[in-house]
Amino acid sequence: MAKHSSATTRGQSPHGTPDATQTTRTATIVNALKQRAQTVLSDKSIDPQTRNIIRYALEINDPWLAKLVRCAETRQSVETIDFSQTP
């Protein structure tokens, strides 16, 4: 018996892993965040303690990095972050 399928490929593999477009989008977002973090690290007007925290978060791929960078960019203290929440 011959098989024929006219189905088109979906955006995800059969096991639910993201397709190449989703992976590229995620990589773009991560790269943009890392660039923002590098900009914060080179900004000498931001206090050294905050820059050190962001430097470490960048090194370990901390899930709080985005929040830390946002705080630094808006000149808020990172001490105001509620780390009991999920990032």
Q: Does the pLDDT at position 14 exceed 60?
A: no
pLDDT of residue 3: 62
State the amino acid at position 44 in one-letter form: K
Q: Where are the domains of the chain?
A: 20-80
Chain segment 18-55, per-residue pLDDT in tens: 677 888 999 999 999 999 999 999 999 999 999 999 99
pLDDT of residue 70: 96
| Range from 6-10, 31-35, 64-68 carrying the lowest mean pLDDT | 6-10
The single residue listed with the structure tokens 């098989």 is 3
pTM of the model: 0.72
Give the other-Cβ count within 10 Å of 66's Cβ.
16
State the amino acid at position 25 in one-letter form: R
pLDDT of residue 87: 79
Q: Does the pLDDT at position 65 exceed 60?
A: yes
